[in-house]
Structure formats: structure tokens, C-alpha cells
Amino acid sequence: MRSELFIGGTWQAPASGETYAIVNPATEEPCATVARGDERDVDRAVAAARRAFDEGPWPRMSPHERGRLVWRLGELLTEHVDELARLESLCTGKTLFDSGKIEIPFAAEVFRYYAGWASKIHGETVPVREGALTFTLRQPVGVVGAIVPWNFPFLLAAWKVAPALAAGNTVVLKPASQTPLTALRFAELVQEAGLPEGVVNVVTGPGARVGLALVRDPRVDKIAFTGSTEVGKQIMREAAGTLKRLSLELGGKSPNIVFADADLDAAVRGAMTGIFYNKGEVCAAGSRLFLEAPIHDAFMARLTERVKGLKVGDPFDRTTRIGPVVSRQQLETVLGYIEAGQREGARLVTGGRRVGTRGYFVEPTVFDGVTNRMRIAREEIFGPVLAVIPFTSVEDAVAQGNDTPYGLAAAVWTRDVAKAIRVARALRAGTVWVNAYNLYDAALPFGGFKESGFGRELGAAGLEHYTEVKTVWVDLG
């Protein structure tokens, strides 16, 4: 793996000359060495992106040709899916199945989806009066700073980079400091695909230096960020100095609501997927499971049996279902929340402990008897910890489901279609699944309400954040 930065189409040493080790969370051993970028490297990367946008061919290229190159990136991702999946699992701890069968293929699909949009971005003719030709143009924003988290390092980069490129923007990509390996390999694929110099740049390093430098740089026109609500608020404050365009996909504490008339076996599977996919390190995780009183005991019996059967271990083992959390810091955070849940009176049904002494493994954990006031129900844990909360009616489920500062996702399980739609309308969340959980498609927008952020990624709505609308008025005399 390269220990350099990708700037202006070439591999360059960081200004500091420093590198740092990437740790494999399954072994706690270093697995790669990468460059430690800082503000000076951001300055160079932004200058390269600015030059590529202001003077280079990319935004002036035929949309069909630009779309062909974005499509080519998607094809290269597919060709190298096994390699990329191994890199992703190596530094995140996610299972190789999740990386190789779900996430990298989805990222490739996102590039192919937005490649098709490149030739379909257009304005409108607006007839306002005689003697004038009036129309709109939809043009690229400019230089985009894409700041991505460690839970889905490449997939969430694809959600930002693909629409930005399709619209004709240039990009500086800042991967999470713990998980930069796929971003660096992607930079090599950018070279192989033949994108012009400076269109895509990758700067690795700490967010406090690299990320904030991107946000503060007046030459950057837009920041696309996925991460914690706390950091999202900091980005808003910093971006105010230059009035940057922002799209923020932040935290969540999503309600997963199961009514008594639901298919219980399907709902149990959905509850498992909702909280234990990717070890619970998912912004949209169904971390609050609401059970209607009549089905509580039967549901908990089935759920507990299945949770106890989940194998925790080596993410490269095909039989593993839960790998390690991403870092020692995250391990301590998750274990701290488990202790808090017990102190506050929640009943620990299963799990709750670290697994082994080597690697950041946590047992899949279920708490019952949780109230919506407890910390494990209020705060985003970002780990395999489920809080089960009872409810008594549709109104109670909606009220408790909405009683959170977040609003990223939710799910409803019922055989009553009218009830499902009524509850889906009432829940304040950017995505509501009905009789499903964690389903996504490149064509469907994703984003949050309230403190889960604003703006949308994916779909046509996601593309809008990478363009500006210009009005042209031609006086015909």
C-alpha cells in the first residue's frame, strides 16, 4: 500500500514527511503505513482540484465522454472487487462477505448509476414574456471536499465522488484516518481509468487537520460529510466563514417498530439485520427495537436464540457474522455504554462482554426493559448493542419513535398496509422501511431529518447537491 498522497494526478510525499500505521482491529497489529497529511497537503490538493476545474477539460468535456469515464470507474471497481474487499475488511473489521458481496459491488453500482446521469443534467426554457429568451443552466458547483467516516469507508466515498464527477466537479477526498486503504487504491484506479490530472485527489491524515483545512479553504465550494452529529455541527460553524454548500449525513438512533400483527420470523430477521449488520457501526442502525406488548415474550425468545448463535471472530472466516469494532477507542466506548445500561436498570438479556483479549471484539448485546430516557436509548452507541422498548398502541409507538434528536431511518413491521403507511408518514425520518431493514438502492435518496443532518445522497436528489442553477435572460429587443 502506498504511503504517499494522490495530488494533481501524481503520488507525492506528505509535506511533513511523516507516516502512521493502520491497525487491523482483529489482531491489533499494524497492517499498512500511510502518509500523515496536514494543512500544507490540503493546500496543494485544493489548488490541483481548483486548477482542474477552472482550467482543465473535465467540466468542459462532453457529458457523454465524462459519463463514459465514470462508468469505467464502476467497471474497474467490479474487476478489483476481491482486492478492494480485502483492503476494506483489513482495516475496518467488517466481514469479507459484507465487503465483497454487498458494499464494494454497491459502490460500483453507484458509479454506473451516476455515469448515466452525466448526459441528463440540463436546465429549462421558461417563457416569461414576449421579447425575451429566458432559460436556466444547471452547472457543477466546483471543487468538492468529500469527508467520509470509518464504518463504510469506500461505499460512502462512492456516494459522494460519483455524483460529484458526473456533474463535472473536481474532488478532494479525505478518508477516515483509521480506514484509508480503499481510497488510496481507488486513486490508482482513477489513474488507470484515464481521468484528467487533479480531478480526483486523496489526502490521508487526521480529521482535525486535513478535514478542517478542507472546510476552511475558500477555494472549496462544497463539503459532503458523513460522520457524527458533533463533528457535523463543527463543520457547519467552520463553513459559515465562506458560506460553503454543505450536505451532512450524521448520526441516528433509529426506531424499529414491530406490531403484534407482524410476521414475527421476518421481523426477528429484520431486527438482527438492523442492529448487527457491520457490528452495529451503521448510522441508520435499528438500535431501538419497539415491541408491542402482546408479542414481547415470544419475540424476545426467538431473538435471543438467534443472537446467541451469531459467531464473533475473524472477519476473513466465512462463518463469522460479527467482526471486531474498528478501534480500541470504539471498543471502550461500546463497553462503556453497556455498563451504563446496566447501571440505569436495563436488563441484560445476552452478550455484554468483550470477546477474548486480542482484537476489538464485542459480544452481540441485547437489553430489555429499556426506557426511552436511558442513555442506551438516547445516544448513538455505534456498536452491536440493541435496546428493546415496549409500546402499547400506534400512537405510543410513533411518539416514542420520534422522541429522539435524530431522524435518519426507521422501520415498521405489520401486515396492515394502511397502518404501515400511516405510521411511515408520521415517523420523522429520512428513510422508513416497511417489513424490511437496511435496504438501499442507488436510485433512492438517503439522508436525515433533525440532528441526523440535511441534504440527500443517491438518486436524482443526491445529484442536485453537486450542481448550481443559473438563470439566463436574453433580451430580444
For the question of residue 31 being annotated catalytic, the response is no
CB 94 within 8 A of CB 315: yes
Which of the following is catalytic: 88, 249, 292, 363?
A: 249
Phi, psi for residue 384 in degrees, rounded to 5: -80, 65
For the question of residue 283 being annotated catalytic, the response is yes
H/E element, 90: helix 81-92
Distance CA 169, CA 220 (A): 11
- 7-12: long-range contacts, CB 8 A cutoff, minimum separation 24: 7/41, 7/44, 7/45, 7/48, 7/198, 7/201, 7/202, 7/203, 8/44, 8/45, 8/48, 8/51, 8/52, 8/197, 8/198, 8/201, 9/48, 9/191, 9/196, 9/197, 9/198, 10/197, 12/41, 12/44
Instruction: Report in angstroms the alpha-carbon separations of 387 from 113, 181, 300, 346, 367.
Output: 36, 33, 12, 9, 5
Among 377, 379, 380, 349, CA closest to 363: 349
Question: How long, in residues, is the chain?
Answer: 477
DSSP state of 195: P
Instruction: Report in angstroms the alpha-carbon separations of 17 from 37, 291, 354.
Output: 9, 55, 37
CB 163 within 8 A of CB 466: yes
Cα dihedral sign, 307-309-314-320: negative
If phi > 0 it is left, if psi is from -120 to 50 it is alpha, else beta; for residue 194 that is left
Instruction: Report in angstroms the alpha-carbon separations of 330 from 212, 325, 360.
Output: 22, 7, 8
Distance CA 221, CA 356 (A): 47
Residues 6+ apart with CB under 8 A from 79: none
Which of the following is catalytic: 88, 109, 281, 283?
A: 283
Distance CA 169, CA 167 (A): 6
Tell me how crowded residue 343 is: count the other CB atoms within 10 A of its CB.
10
H/E element, 47: helix 39-54
Distance CA 459, CA 442 (A): 6
Phi, psi for residue 251 in degrees, rounded to 5: -75, 175
- Catalytic machinery residues: 249, 283
